[in-house]
């Protein structure tokens, strides 16, 4: 692997909910432009890790830095302003708005104009509005939902809603994208298209951290994989290394009766 | 289509004083118009951010008192033998101050409660209205307490070159209220169709997702509260200078409830909703008075409200818009149509 500059550092992060340890001690880094996957059995602490990285949870110990900025204490919208954008495992759209309007909401960071300009309809605000509409159309085309643009996002199929979720995240102009189980509920061909999509996102220079259960998908798309179990990192490396790691095989398949 | 309806509605409303000579009905229309402005401001919060302000009348009442006191002047003692003396200013300055002070109050109430939101916001706003009512009732030196502030001057418009036009007649006041209502309507329309409006809608629909794309919850909601409170303050000022007497009863809870009814029946989250709902429930008591005993009037009022919400559960305007859209596009148009009623269309 060529040496990359580090985008994100997770340094000895721990999360405890009362007596329950969700993450005990987690440290790893994500390089610029890399696709890293975070995998592990259910309840291993993957989504908790995402919530820490995006400011939805404050870690009990340790810290996360992104491009030199320490994220501890920042609010989610402030972290989004640093270009660190996530998607969600479940509800990931504004259900009552059209797909097009969803993306306009997602373009919030790029559409900031002065309130007075917007109210008076000054030319600057109007030009910004036109630019946003143009971008929204481009994004819709890019995820291939042109024909659903004017349907309410809540009326779309599960797979389509996932695409809207990713387009929404891209609308926020991320420099790093955190995808939480993006292909769960997708069929094989949708998954295949999604992998292409992720690759083209990375080709735009966007770093990607992925949480996913779909192992074939993870193995094809990732540069590097981090495996979590019971809140600890048990393995880290290229897909090839992970596939043959005994600790990983044990975590996923169990170890007979030896594990009481 | 929508523009045509809007222009027609404004033309009809503007023509009313030309053919309606009955001062009693004109008076009812003016006070209703003032409450419609209040309802529009409430709708900005309730319909577009989902936050229910059950003390909205506080901003209205603060506007009324600020405006009245600015134009009447006062002389009150403060702790430490300081006397605060204010000589009367023109009522138009009172209107501007009412907007600013009410907006500031909206800022503080928003700042206090939006960190927690939901039920907390409801409770903070109710308490705020009650506290303000108690201040108005007990700070007799400033507000005259239950004796009321009387002889509040009518609004006078400065006309460059012609001196001043004092709005004394009902017809003049009707047009004043109509113009302010139009300005408030356009302001709210522009706002909800701008990217601020989209941020508000995003927060209402899916707050977690909205935050994750960089929308600042506290800032967005506080901004909505400030503008909403400022518009309510303007309505309060119009009220004070039209009725020309105000007492702490203006802060009564029932006045907030009236505004909520106007918004919900007309359709929250729809621009025209509070106007339609406001006209119905503002004028209903006037229509019922000649034909019913006072007790029966309230029962009929409640009956009409229930009937509307039973037949048109989303409120009058969104429900009718949905039916209209369905008829036009056959069965293919499903629920989303009504929900985009306030959606991404270009501002008129």
Read off the pLDDT of residues B61-79 as tens digits, 9 standing for 90 and up: 999 999 999 999 988 888 8
* pLDDT above 80 for B338: no
Residue A57, number of CB atoms within 10 A of its CB = 18
Alpha-carbon gap, residue A125 to A110, rounded angstroms:
12
Nearest to A55 by CA among A211, A178, A161: A178
* pLDDT above 80 for A77: yes
The residues, any chain, with a CB within 8 Å of residue B69's CB and separated by 6 or more, are B86, B94, B142, B143, B149
Contact B39, B107 (CB under 8 A): no
Q: Measure in Å the smallest separation between the Cα of B205 and chain A Cα atoms.
A: 6
> Which residues sit opposite A227 in a β-bridge?
A39, A235
pLDDT at B209: 92
- The 3-class SS string of B198-257 reads HHHHHHHHCHHHHHHCCCCHHHHHHHHHHHHHHHHHHHHHHHHHHHCCECHHHHCHHHHH
pLDDT at B159: 82
Count CB pairs under 8 A between chains A and B.
122
Spell out the domain ranges in chain A: 6-88+184-253
Handedness of CA A219, A223, A224, A228 (dihedral sign): negative
Higher pLDDT: B337 or B9? It is: B9
* pLDDT above 60 for A68: yes
Instruction: Please tell me which residue of chain A has the smallest CA distance to B204.
Output: A94
Instruction: Check CB contact of B333 with chain A, cutoff 8 Å.
Output: no
* pLDDT above 90 for B184: yes
CA distances from B339 to B91, B223, B330 (A): 41, 23, 17
Q: What value of ipTM does the predicted structure carry?
A: 0.85
Give SS3 for A260.
coil
pLDDT at B112: 82
pLDDT at A44: 83
- Taking CB atoms and an 8 Å limit, are B212 and A113 in contact across chains? no
Q: Is B254 exposed, middle or buried (0-12, 13-18, 19+ CB in 10 A)?
A: exposed
Candidates A119, A131, A162, A174: best to mutate against B (most CBs of B within 10 A) is A119
Alpha-carbon gap, residue A171 to A132, rounded angstroms:
10
pLDDT at B342: 42
- Taking CB atoms and an 8 Å limit, are B340 and A98 in contact across chains? yes
Contacts of B195 in chain A (CB under 8 A): 104, 107-108, 111-113, 118, 128-129, 132
pLDDT at A27: 92
Measured in Å, how far apart are chain A's first and last C-alpha atoms? 39
Alpha-carbon gap, residue B223 to B231, rounded angstroms:
12
Mean pLDDT over each residue of chain B, to the nearest integer: 89
pLDDT grade for A256, boundaries at 50, 70 and 90: low
Instruction: Please tell me which residue of chain B has the smallest CA distance to A111.
Output: B195
pLDDT grade for B336, boundaries at 50, 70 and 90: very low
Superfamily of domain A6-88+184-253: P-loop containing nucleotide triphosphate hydrolases (3.40.50.300)
Instruction: Check CB contact of B329 with chain A, cutoff 8 Å.
Output: no
Q: How many residues does chain B have?
A: 348
pLDDT at B265: 95
Contacts of B334 in chain A (CB under 8 A): 152, 155
Instruction: Give A50's Cβ-side CA count (13 Å radius).
Output: 24
- Taking CB atoms and an 8 Å limit, are B190 and A155 in contact across chains? no
Contacts 24+ apart (CB under 8 A), B73-82: B74/B142, B76/B139, B76/B141, B76/B142, B77/B141
Tracing tokens 């061909």 back to the chain, one arrives at: A189
Spell out the domain ranges in chain B: 2-339
Alpha-carbon gap, residue A25 to A3, rounded angstroms:
25
* pLDDT above 90 for B323: no
Instruction: Check CB contact of B90 with chain A, cutoff 8 Å.
Output: no
The answer to whether the pTM exceeds 0.80 is yes
* pLDDT above 70 for B332: no
Alpha-carbon gap, residue B295 to B165, rounded angstroms:
42
pLDDT at A91: 63
Q: pLDDT tens digits, residue range B256-314?
A: 999 999 999 999 999 999 999 999 999 999 999 888 888 898 899 999 999 999 999 89
Q: How many residues does chain A have?
A: 260
User: Looking at residues B178-198, what average pLDDT do you find?
Assistant: 93
């Amino acid at each position: 692997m060529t040496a990359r500059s580090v985008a994100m550092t997770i340094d000895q992060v721990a999360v405890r909910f009362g007596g329950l340890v969700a993450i005990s001690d987690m440290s790893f880094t994500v390089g610029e432009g890399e696709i890293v996957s975070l995998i592990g059995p259910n309840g291993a602490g993957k989504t908790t890790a995402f919530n820490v990285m995006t400011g939805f949870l404050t870690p009990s110990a340790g810290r996360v830095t992104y491009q030199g900025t320490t994220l501890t204490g920042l609010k989610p919208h402030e972290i989004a302003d640093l270009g660190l954008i996530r998607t969600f495992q479940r509800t990931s759209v504004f259900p009552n708005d059209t797909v097009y309007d969803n993306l306009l909401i997602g373009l919030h960071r790029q559409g900031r104009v002065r309130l007075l300009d917007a109210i008076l309809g000054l030319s600057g605000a109007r030009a910004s509005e036109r630019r946003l509409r143009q971008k929204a159309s481009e994004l819709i085309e890019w995820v291939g939902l042109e024909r659903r643009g004017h349907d309410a996002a809540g009326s779309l199929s599960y797979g389509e809603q996932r695409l809207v979720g990713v387009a929404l995240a891209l609308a926020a102009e991320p420099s790093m994208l955190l995808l939480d189980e993006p292909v769960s509920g997708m069929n094989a061909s949708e998954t295949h298209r999604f992998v292409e999509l992720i690759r083209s996102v990375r080709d735009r220079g966007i770093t990607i951290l992925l949480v996913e259960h779909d192992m074939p998908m993870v193995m094809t798309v990732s540069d590097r994989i981090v495996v979590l179990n019971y809140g600890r990192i048990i393995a880290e490396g290229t897909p090839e290394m992970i596939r043959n790691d005994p600790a990983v095989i044990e975590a996923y398949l169990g170890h007979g009766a030896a594990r009481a | 289509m929508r523009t045509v309806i809007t222009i027609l509605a404004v033309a009809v409303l503007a023509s009313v004083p030309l053919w309606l000579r009955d001062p009693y009905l004109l008076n009812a229309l003016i006070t209703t118009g003032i409450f419609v402005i209040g309802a529009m401001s409430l709708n900005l919060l309730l319909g577009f951010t989902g936050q229910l302000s059950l003390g909205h009348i506080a901003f209205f009442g603060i506007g009324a008192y600020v405006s009245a006191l600015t134009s009447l002047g006062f002389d009150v003692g403060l702790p430490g033998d300081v006397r605060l003396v204010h000589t009367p200013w023109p009522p138009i300055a009172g209107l501007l101050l009412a907007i600013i002070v009410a907006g500031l109050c909206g800022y503080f109430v928003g700042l206090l409660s939006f960190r927690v939101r939901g039920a907390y916001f409801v409770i903070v706003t109710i308490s705020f209205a009650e506290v303000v009512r108690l201040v108005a009732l007990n700070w007799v030196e400033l507000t005259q307490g239950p004796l009321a502030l009387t002889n509040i001057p009518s609004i006078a418009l400065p006309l460059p070159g012609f001196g001043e036009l004092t709005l004394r007649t009902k017809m003049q006041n009707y047009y004043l209220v109509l113009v302010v209502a139009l300005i408030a309507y356009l302001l709210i329309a522009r706002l909800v169709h701008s990217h601020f409006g989209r941020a508000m809608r995003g927060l209402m629909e899916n707050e977690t997702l909205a935050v994750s794309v960089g929308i600042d919850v506290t800032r967005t909601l506080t901004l909505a509260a400030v503008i909403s409170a400022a518009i309510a303050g303007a309505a309060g000022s119009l009220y004070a200078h039209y009725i020309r007497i105000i007492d702490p009863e203006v802060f009564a809870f029932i006045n907030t409830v009236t505004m909520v009814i106007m918004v919900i029946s007309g359709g929250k989250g729809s621009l025209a909703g509070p106007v339609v709902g406001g006209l119905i429930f503002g004028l209903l008591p006037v229509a019922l008075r000649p034909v019913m005993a006072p007790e029966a009037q309230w029962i009929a009022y409640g009956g009409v409200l229930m009937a509307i919400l039973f037949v048109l559960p989303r409120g009058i305007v969104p429900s009718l818009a949905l039916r209209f859209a369905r008829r036009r596009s056959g069965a293919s148009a499903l629920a989303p149509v009504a929900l985009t009623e306030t959606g991404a269309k270009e501002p008129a």
